[in-house]
Amino acid sequence: MPTNIDANPTATLARFASELRFEQIPAPVVRRAEDLLQDWIGSALAGKGARPVEAIERFALQMGPADGASEVLISRRRTSPLFAAMVNAAASHFAEQDDVHNGSVFHPGAVVFPPALAIAQSLGSSGRDLITAAVAGYEVGIRVGEFLGRSHYKVFHTTGTAGTVAAAAAAGRLLRLSPGVMQHALGSAGTQAAGLWEFLRDAADSKQLHTAKAAADGLLAAYLAQDGFTGAKRILEGAQGMAAGMSTDADPAWLTDRLGTRWALTETSFKWHAACRHTHPAADALLKIVVDHDLAAADIASVTAHVHQAAIDVLGPVTDPTTVHQAKFSMGTVLGMIGVFRNAGLAEFQQHFRDPRVIALRERVRMVKDDGVDAAYPQRWIGKVTVTTTAGRALTARVEEPRGDPGNTLSRGEIEDKAVRLAEWSGAATAAEMRGIAQRVFSLAESTTVGILLRADSQAREAAE
């Protein structure tokens, strides 16, 4: 737990984001940033065809320019940086496969890479510029999420709130804002920060709007600051700032915790299951029991998931999911998928979330708060499950780090394969196209310009012929 409180943490964060240079970033952090970018591209392409994402794309097409320098990944069209960032951010948060930072309970990639890529393409920035901006966005956004605390996350979707500030930091770094101007950008971003969990109760589409607006509003804040527009100088810790209105346990020390030596980006996890991250620890623990004891769903009389309180807060309202996306926030449904299919991937949710076998097992799942699990959260997301079999056996499993966490991470090859699966699942890109993107992403530090990632559909057809 950090203890040193900076006199003006908003200004310190702004200076860090403004003055960060590629040469200051350790090589392992650069490699991790490339991995996270490849993972994000796969998630963004998986959003193609999703009804709420396509609605935001139609809005952008109606409102924005029909051509531009920035790429909308799901449609392969070009538009302004603002609308490209908006659509790409919405798309990347739909399949529930985008990255997550445990301690801040924040999905950085979905809000940092969309504005960073859009601006880099617009400006003709180098790969190093894009990486530096992404690192700035991750470091700022993660610390803002940690600062706002557990009370914030109980009501607010941190990816929509802290994400707006993260997007502004990444955008401001690409625009080369001075520390003072960056501080204004963070101020304008923070005053726009929003996103409430109430949408889950109604299976509403708001989650995609949260990331779309966070990315677009952070970009807006940076461009306005570049033009002299001023923002609150203490938007995070001020008497009427974000913490004052959105948290009861905010700790300003988190904002500058080992800034420049602790690289929070490397703490970010990759998501394996296509569901809310709060389900992953229990899913991994149940999978261990099912595999180790070769259980079928019919062999399971009951499942108790021993969880942290936030899992109950987020997942508890979803008792009878009516959509695929809402099903991903149902602990019973996710564990039902594991019990029936031993997998909780995109195909399973798309085809089977109303499968009678899944529903039957869902009804035999309950969540209980575990004090030990809760005490470790959010720094550690422990999976702990008890299964009672129809034969009367009591089986338990505990997973210290879910698959994808830094201590149980995915290899570069697994990240690339995951991105290929996501793009092929939605039909947004071919395996060959994704392998080509991976080659570019994994050598991004040597690229003089970022450029366009995917050819327009007409160009792709011509190349195939």
DSSP secondary structure string for all residues of 360-421: HHHTTEEEEE-HHHHHHTTT---EEEEEEETTS-EEEEEESS-TTSGGG---HHHHHHHHHH
Tell me, what's the pLDDT at 459? Answer: 56
Domain for residue 428, yes or no?
A: no
Beta-strand pair 268-269/300-307: unpaired
Q: Is 107 helix (H, G, I), strand (E, B) or coil?
A: coil
Q: Strand, helix or coil at 13?
A: helix
User: What's the domain range around 19?
Assistant: 9-269
Domain tally, the chain: 2
Residue finishing a domain among 347, 368, 403: 403
Give the pairing type, strands 300-307 and 383-389.
Answer: antiparallel
Read off the CATH number of the domain in which 15 is found. 1.10.4100.10
Residue 215 sits in the same domain as residue 342: no
Cβ neighbors of 265 (< 8 A, separation 6 or more) are: 29, 32, 33, 36, 108, 134, 135, 138, 139, 142
Cα–Cα distance, 253 to 246 (Å, whole number): 17
Same domain, 33 and 98: yes
What Cα–Cα distance (Å) separates residue 391 from each residue in 106, 290, 388?
41, 14, 8
Using alpha carbons only, give the angle 406, 409, 415 rounded to the nearest 5 degrees: 130
Final residue in a domain of this structure, among 356, 378, 403: 403
Rounded CA separation 387/446 (Å):
51
Specify whether 236 is located in the same domain as 323: no
Residue 203 belongs to a domain:
yes
225 & 286 share domain: no
Q: Residue 387 sits in a domain of what CATH number? A: 3.30.1330.120
Same domain, 292 and 255: no
Q: What is the pLDDT of residue 64?
A: 86
User: Which pLDDT belongs to residue 1?
Assistant: 58
Same domain as 325, residue 260: no
Residues 188 and 46 in one domain: yes
Task: Indicate if 41 and 137 belong to the same structural domain.
Answer: yes
Q: Is 112 inside any structural domain?
A: yes
In a domain, 4, yes or no: no
Q: Quick one: 314 and 239 in the same domain?
A: no
User: What CA–CA distances, in Å, run from 365 to 125, 359, 403?
Assistant: 50, 10, 22
208 neighbors 93 (Cβ within 8 angstroms): yes
Distance between CA atoms of 367 and 281, rounded to whole angstroms?
Answer: 12
Check whether residue 123 and residue 230 sit in a common domain. yes
The answer to whether the Cα torsion of 315, 318, 319, 322 is positive or negative is: negative
Residues 326, 190, single domain; the answer is: no
Q: Which residues pair with 368 in a beta bridge?
A: 306
Q: Looking at 269, 286, 302, which one is the last position of a domain?
A: 269
Under 8 Å between Cβ of 177 and 222: yes
Tell me how far apart the alpha carbons of residues 44 and 91 are, in angstroms, rounded to a whole number.
Answer: 5
**For the segment 92-149, what is each residue's pLDDT rounded down to a tens digit?**
999 999 999 999 999 999 999 999 999 999 999 999 999 999 999 999 999 999 999 9
If asked whether residues 214 and 240 sit together in one domain, one would say yes
Q: How many CA atoms lie within 13 A of 442 on its CB side?
A: 13
Could you tell me where the beta strands, DSSP code E, fall in 148-269?
268-269
Task: Quote the CA–CA distance of 305 and 213 in Å, as a whole number.
Answer: 34
Label each residue of 122-158 as H, E or C. Answer: HHCCCHHHHHHHHHHHHHHHHHHHHHHHHHHHHHECH
Residues 193 and 140: beta-carbon distance below 8 Å: no
- The reported pLDDT for the residue numbered 465 is 45
Instruction: Say what angle helices 51-63 and 206-226 make with each other, to 10 degrees.
Output: 30
Question: In this structure, how many other beta carbons lie within 10 angstroms of the beta carbon of residue 214?
Answer: 37
Q: Compute the distance between CA of residue 382 and CA of residue 400 in angstroms, rounded to an integer.
A: 5
DSSP conformation class of 257: T
| Total Cβ atoms within 10 A of residue 150 | 17
Residue 161 lies in a domain: yes
What's the pLDDT score for residue 460?
53
User: Which amino acid appears at position 155 of this protein?
Assistant: V
Token reading at 189:
């971003």
SS3 344: coil
pLDDT per residue rounded down to tens, the chain (465 residues): 565 556 799 999 999 999 999 999 999 999 999 999 999 999 999 999 999 999 999 999 999 899 999 999 999 999 999 999 999 999 999 999 999 999 999 999 999 999 999 999 999 999 999 999 999 999 999 999 999 999 999 999 999 999 999 999 999 999 999 999 999 999 999 999 999 999 999 999 999 999 999 999 999 999 999 999 999 999 999 999 999 999 999 999 999 999 999 999 999 999 999 999 999 999 999 999 999 999 999 999 999 999 999 999 999 999 999 999 999 999 999 999 999 999 999 999 999 999 999 999 999 999 999 999 999 999 999 999 999 999 999 999 999 999 999 999 999 999 999 999 999 999 999 999 999 999 999 999 999 999 999 998 655 544 544
